[in-house]
Amino acid sequence: MSSQHQFEEVPLRERLATNPRPALVWAVGLALLLLVELGAVISTLFGVFELVASVAIGAVSGAPQGIGPNSDATGAVVVSILNSIEQFGNTLPTLLSRSLIPNQGHQVASGAWEGTFLGLPPAYAWFFRVVLIYAYLFLLLWWAWFGYRTFVEHYRQADWTPRDDVVDRLRGHRWGQFGLVIVVLFVGLALFAPTISPTTFEQDIDRPYEFEVEYFDEETGTVETTTAGDANLVSSSQGTPAYNTGPLSYDEFGRFHPFGTMNLPGGDLFTFMAYGARVSLFIGVTAIAISGFIAAAFGLLTAYYKGFADLSVVVISDSIQAIPVLLLLILINVVFADHWLTSFYNGGLLLALAFGFLYWPGLWRAVRGPAFQVSEQEWVDAARSYGQRSTTTMRKHMLPYILGYLLVYGSLTIGGIIITTAALSFLNIGIGAPTPEWGRAVADGRSYVATESWHIALIPGILIVLVVTALNAFGDGIRDAIDPQSQGGEGAANEAAAAGGGG
């Protein structure tokens, strides 16, 4: 066999066909992991599709489906079908579900619990469900890592790539690993909010007076019934010993509150934080996806064409960065107060679009230098001289080079978006009620900081700081793994290229 034939690139599908067993083992394992949560996967996935379809159709018709006279009939049918599939997913059996491991029940005269998992007290039943959820999530992540190792050992042609060194350095970066663990906990809290919360969003926040709560009345010695809304009012934390339900405690109705309850009209603080994490994650990921796409596109265009193209983007980005962010966000909130966009997450989608517009200049400047550097490499010149299309050259030879930098600065930027969203909600100009948002919890509890109900503001404040710090730590870990000297030299840049998509 000649040396040239020996090092020919073999398509991945041929490598899989030659040795299918490791890939099949991994694929079957992944299918089983997803199957046990099939209902949650389908409902979450098609819930996202429904939101995207509503936004897309609303952008064309001028109103989201089902809102306003401009709703398109065909679009309404599409959204209705997606909603039906989402509801079908909710009916499918799911291993880690509230129905399988219930934590809401009531005591009887003997002191035993009825309606909870195996008759356990609500605190133990809830904690058991949370442990299983995070065990499942970390197992899923470990299986993804196992899939990567399977690819490296059985299907990658190269014995070594610079990505291997990047991965090894990240595995030894304790600060970055701390950030990764906290980020995973945060993402799990958001994704599994309906299951991980002690109660449901509908029962605790959205429609509490439509649900009933059973509890044991010690005075009468019988099981009584009241609405969840009335129970929330009675168990709300109002800053006095007589009216306070603190962290890790039960209220008068036998309901366990891991973070305590909120002030009037009451409600479980942990449930509020879990669904607030979902809103923060949606805004952060959507904003970074938009700004990252714009930054990458402009980075490649300005590096490839240079000259007038680069100057134009410099002027545009400088103009956007000169705008006071807070004032612009306040202006957007006022101008679009009655716009159909505010119907999604009570302004959450509008904030995500605004952040995407405001943050792309910073990301573009982060990748501009690396993009210019790779545009001067000999392989790009060779692609040009052979007449390769500019879009192909940018996609195949330049984009992988800057993806590592986008990942680093994107993870750092998400933290800023989350804390800015919380700040806007604290000022009552961000996410509107009843949609939960962490900053609004801090605002609601600021007058109780020095009272018995200190937990209302302090716990959300600590979580905001912890999540933002973790995102920065994870970004630092990725940066140090890509560039151990943090100098951005040619060797480090080449490793960034490999980390982004080489090998």
Comparing CA positions, the residue from 60, 68, 64 lying closest to residue 50 is 64
Q: Whole-angstrom Cα distance, residue 492 to residue 211?
A: 58
292: pLDDT strictly greater than 50? yes
Phi, psi of 19 (to 5 degrees): -140, 75
Tally of structural domains, the chain: 2
Q: For strand 222-227 and strand 212-217, is the pairing parallel, antiparallel, or unpaired?
A: antiparallel
231: pLDDT strictly greater than 90? yes
Phi, psi of 493 (to 5 degrees): -65, -40
Domain enclosing residue 216, as ranges:
201-267
Same domain, 410 and 423: yes
Task: Give the pLDDT of residue 68.
Answer: 46
Task: Give the pLDDT of residue 6.
Answer: 46
Task: Give the pLDDT of residue 179.
Answer: 94
Q: Whole-angstrom Cα distance, residue 360 to residue 295?
A: 5
Q: Whole-angstrom Cα distance, residue 230 to residue 209?
A: 7
Q: Quick one: which H or E segment has residue 113? A: strand 113-114
Could you report the per-residue pLDDT of 325-370, keeping only the tens digit for each? 888 888 888 888 777 777 777 888 889 999 999 999 999 998 988 8
Taking residues 137-159, report their average pLDDT: 92
Give the percent of the chain with pLDDT over 70: 90
Can you name the residues that pair with 225 across neighbouring β-strands? 214
Assigned domain for 219 exists: yes
Q: How confident is the model at residue 64 (pLDDT cuts 50, 70, 90)?
A: low
Comparing CA positions, the residue from 270, 125, 131, 274 lying closest to residue 191 is 274
Residues 6 or more apart in contact with residue 31 via CB below 8 angstroms: none
Instruction: Provide the whole-model pTM.
Output: 0.86
Q: Whole-angstrom Cα distance, residue 142 to residue 390?
A: 39
Structure tokens at 306: 């240079």
**Helix or strand or coil: residue 64?**
coil
Same domain, 363 and 478: yes
Task: Give the pLDDT of residue 490.
Answer: 43
Assigned domain for 76 exists: no
Q: Tell me how far the alpha carbon of residue 209 is from its chain's centroid.
A: 30
| Angle in degrees, CA 210, 212, 218, rounded to 5 | 150
Q: Which of 236, 267, 298 is the last residue of a domain?
A: 267
Q: Which of 267, 285, 302 is the last residue of a domain?
A: 267
Assigned domain for 44 exists: no
Same domain, 396 and 475: yes
The stretches of 202-268 forming alpha helices (DSSP H) are: 228-234
70: pLDDT strictly greater than 50? no
Same domain, 292 and 223: no
196: number of Cβ within 10 Å: 21
Virtual torsion, Cα 330, 332, 333, 337, nearest 10 deg: 150
Taking residues 418-426, report their average pLDDT: 89
Whichever domain contains 396, its CATH number is: 1.10.3720.10
92: pLDDT strictly greater than 80? no
Q: Quick one: which H or E segment has residue 145? A: helix 122-154
Assigned domain for 429 exists: yes
Task: Give the pLDDT of residue 63.
Answer: 58
Same domain, 215 and 339: no
Assigned domain for 145 exists: no
Same domain, 432 and 480: yes
Q: Which of 220, 248, 267 is the last residue of a domain?
A: 267
Assigned domain for 14 exists: no
- Name residue 196's amino acid: I
Same domain, 293 and 250: no
Same domain, 261 and 277: no
Same domain, 320 and 390: yes
Same domain, 379 and 413: yes
Q: How confident is the model at residue 12 (pLDDT cuts 50, 70, 90)?
A: confident
Phi, psi of 239 (to 5 degrees): 90, 5
Q: Whole-angstrom Cα distance, residue 472 to residue 180?
A: 10
Taking residues 96-106, report their average pLDDT: 87
Could you report the per-residue pLDDT of 241-281, keeping only the tens digit for each? 889 999 999 999 999 999 999 998 889 999 999 999 999 99
Assigned domain for 132 exists: no
Same domain, 239 and 330: no
Same domain, 285 and 224: no
Assigned domain for 334 exists: yes
Q: How many residues does the chain have?
A: 503
